Amino acid sequence: MSEPLVFHYDIDGEDFISAGQASIQIKKNLRRIGLSPEVIRRVSIAMYEGEINMVIHAKGGTADVLLYEDRIEIILADKGPGISNIEEAMQEGFSTASDTIRSLGFGAGMGLPNMKRYSDKMTIDTTVGVGTTVTMVINIT
Amino acid sequence: MKIKDLKELLDADVLCCEENLSRHLYSACGCDLMSDVLAYVKDQGALLTGLVNPQVVRTAVMMDLVCIVFVRSKLPTEDIVELAKENGIVVLTTDKRLYEACGILYSNGLGVKESK
Ligand SMILES: Nc1ncnc2c1ncn2[C@@H]1O[C@H](COP(=O)(O)OP(=O)(O)O)[C@@H](O)[C@H]1O
Ligand SMILES: [Mg+2]
């Protein structure tokens, strides 16, 4: 079993304007490695939504992208407020985001559904008051 | 149509990546909600929006969009244009409103074709 190639990013939770920089970086790295445009697009969109969520809901966190031979794992971990009702959070249109965030183009409640749509597998591990870890797997076909 | 046809139809100004004006467009979307843009992949698409911030460009990068049109004469700041430029995305501004701009493009044959 070969070791995965790991990309690690710290996501600054203070600054909505720069949110998404890690996802841009990942996109560049995966292009350089030469993965298919479709896989790269799915990884970068899913990670981008996750990165935005960590900034607007959890004051930042870390992102690790693990590149295996047959798949990519994206692990987004934060020490934010956690999610009390995952089922509700997964519904399209459900959002607790502020009007300010909405006026900036996010907070439509489509982030988690989009992340699920673009990944082959997604798990959410969350504890209220402790934090949230979202893991997404995208197969390389 | 090509990006340069869109430019003519919307009487738009080019802010960067003029060298890419001959690229083809197969779809477009008009939207101020970036998560809605991110929900469905568009092939060789253009994004028309009234929202002006760097997340518009990052959304376009993630989606592999080739062109951004800021409507109602909204002028993006230099850092926004710079980010688009780094990624080869043509940025245009038009004084038309979102509804009108979309209508003009749609009636001239630019549909909403989606892929995968
Ligand atoms: N990392 C997170 N930490 C805490 N809450 C979260 C996190 N991610 C999502 N949520 C909660 O789930 C809801 C739905 O998320 P999402 O579908 O991305 O929509 P949006 O971000 O537009 O609100 C959010 O409004 C928020 O309440
Ligand atoms: Mg979200």
Tokens coding A20: 């998404």
Q: Answer yes or no: is pLDDT of A115 > 50.
A: yes
The whole-number pLDDT of residue B116 equals 38
pLDDT tens-digit readout, B56-77: 999 999 999 999 999 999 999 9
CB contact under 8 A, B36 and A108: yes
pLDDT tens-digit readout, A33-63: 999 999 999 999 999 999 999 999 999 999 9
Q: Which residues of A touch B (CB under 8 A)?
A: 16-20, 23-24, 27, 37-38, 41, 44-45, 48-49, 52, 104-106, 108-111, 113-114, 117
The whole-number pLDDT of residue A27 equals 97
| Test the B interface: residue of A29, A55, A104 with most B CBs within 10 Å | A104
Counting the structural domains of chain B, the total is 1
**Cα A96 to ligand 1 centroid, rounded to whole Å:** 7
User: Which residue range(s) make up the domain with B78?
Assistant: 3-107
Tell whether B115 is covered by a domain. Answer: no
pLDDT tens-digit readout, B80-114: 999 999 999 999 999 999 999 999 999 999 987 64
Contacts of A52 in chain B (CB under 8 A): 55
In terms of Cα–Cα distance, which of A85, A27, A19, A17 is closest to A53? Answer: A19
Among the partner residues B36, B55, B63, nearest to A45 by beta-carbon distance: B63
**Rg of chain A, C-alpha, whole Å:** 14
List helix spans (H) across B28-96. 34-39, 54-62, 78-86
CATH of the domain at B37: 3.40.1390.20
CATH of the domain at A130: 3.30.565.10
DSSP string, A4-27: PEEEEEEEETT-TTTTTHHHHHHH
Q: Answer yes or no: is pLDDT of A90 > 80.
A: yes
Which residue in chain B is spatially nearest to A52 when comparing CA positions?
B55
- In ligand 1, which atom is closest to the CA atom of A96? 25
Tell me the shortest Cα–Cα distance from A31 to chain B, in angstroms.
Answer: 12
User: Which residue range(s) make up the domain with A107?
Assistant: 5-139
| Test the A interface: residue of B36, B37, B59, B62 with most A CBs within 10 Å | B62
pLDDT tens-digit readout, B6-46: 999 999 999 999 999 999 999 999 999 999 999 988 778 99
**β-bridge mates for residue A7, sequence order:** A65
Tell whether B113 is covered by a domain. Answer: no
Counting the structural domains of chain A, the total is 1
What mean pLDDT comes out for the span A82-109? 96
Give the closest ligand to the alpha carbon of residue A57. Answer: 1
Tell whether B59 is covered by a domain. Answer: yes
Residue B37 · residue B47 · CB < 8 Å: yes
Flag whether the ipTM exceeds 0.90. Answer: yes
CB contact under 8 A, A104 and B36: no
In terms of Cα–Cα distance, which of A19, A40, A26 is closest to A111? Answer: A19
Tell whether B26 is covered by a domain. Answer: yes
Query: What is the CB < 6 Å shell around ligand 1?
Result: A 53-54, 57-58, 78, 80-81, 83, 89, 94-97, 106-113, 132; B 35
The whole-number pLDDT of residue B40 equals 86
Q: Answer yes or no: is pLDDT of A138 > 70.
A: yes
Assign A1 a pLDDT band (cuts: 50, 70, 90): low
